[in-house]
Amino acid sequence: MTTLELDHVGIGEEPGAALPTVSAVAGPGRPGIVAVETEQAPVLASLVAGGRMRPDRGRVLVDGRADPAAVRRGFALVDTPGVAEPFPVMSCRRIVREELAYAGQRPSREHVDTVLESLGMTQYADTHVQRVPTEVRVRLLVELALLRADVTGLVITSPERHGGAVEDWFAVVRDVALRGVTVLLVTSKAAAQTATALLDTIPAPTTTDGPDDATATDGDDPRLQEAS
């Protein structure tokens, strides 16, 4: 299991910094939440948290140590504007195809259909991603990111910008975290307030040594693996 900590990170001089100083801790079963408001701050916070940009101050720690390479390797950026977001007019089918290829899996039509079916998204296969409910978008992009080798954590950027109730898309964040994935959510202050209140509804994670381990990720889910 992996813990990600932002320890008083920031970019630019206060006041008016491009990324005001923020701190957060994310671990399996307990998402971390970063609340930022300015136009650039969510992207900058996500890049810093994902090890793609060095902050001017503060530290990014993975399991208590500074290891930018481990953060880059283990954490995927999800729906980060201008960095890791799909084009609005891309269909869900095309997004799955491209993400399977990126994950090193053969993006056959049959495999794409299997992934969509396993996620309960067959009805959205040919729908432009800009037109699906926010919780569907978040779930799709999260599950596809987890197909990549070595990815054990996610940095999800500003899902509130697509509309919908915070409770709906945060349920996706909660469910993924309960599977043992480390999730850092970067969102607006208003959405963060609701999400923080919802954190209290997340039970403490449990682990077992058996095959029904609740911390399994999609990399262990045979429904999302191409048949050999």
For the segment 10-51, what is each residue's pLDDT rounded down to a tens digit? 999 988 899 999 999 999 889 999 999 878 999 999 999 999
Kindly give the confidence (pLDDT) of every residue in the chain, 228 residues in length, as a single tens digit, with 9 standing for 90 and above.
689 999 999 999 988 899 999 999 999 889 999 999 878 999 999 999 999 999 999 999 999 999 999 999 999 999 999 999 999 999 999 999 999 999 999 899 999 999 999 999 999 999 999 999 999 999 999 999 999 999 999 999 999 999 999 999 999 999 999 999 999 999 999 999 999 999 876 666 554 444 333 333 333 443 333 333
Bridge partners of residue 34, in order along the sequence: 186
The residue written with tokens 């503060």 in the block is 58
> Is 159 in a helix, a strand, or coil?
helix
> Is 75 in a helix, a strand, or coil?
strand
Task: Return the C-alpha torsion angle 163, 164, 165, 167, nearest 10.
Answer: -100
Q: Which domains are seen in the chain, by residue range?
A: 4-206 (3.40.50.300)
Contact partners, residue 173, CB within 8 Å, separation at least 6: 31, 138, 156, 183, 185, 195
Nearest to 122 by CA among 130, 112, 131, 108: 112
pTM above 0.75, yes or no: yes
134-145 and 92-102 helices cross at what angle (nearest 10)? 20
**pLDDT tens digits, 83-94:** 999 999 999 999
Sign of CA dihedral 179, 185, 191, 195: positive
> Parallel, antiparallel, or unpaired for β 4-11 and 57-62?
antiparallel
Q: CB-based burial of residue 145 (10 Å sphere; 0-12 exposed, 13-18 middle, 19+ buried)?
A: buried
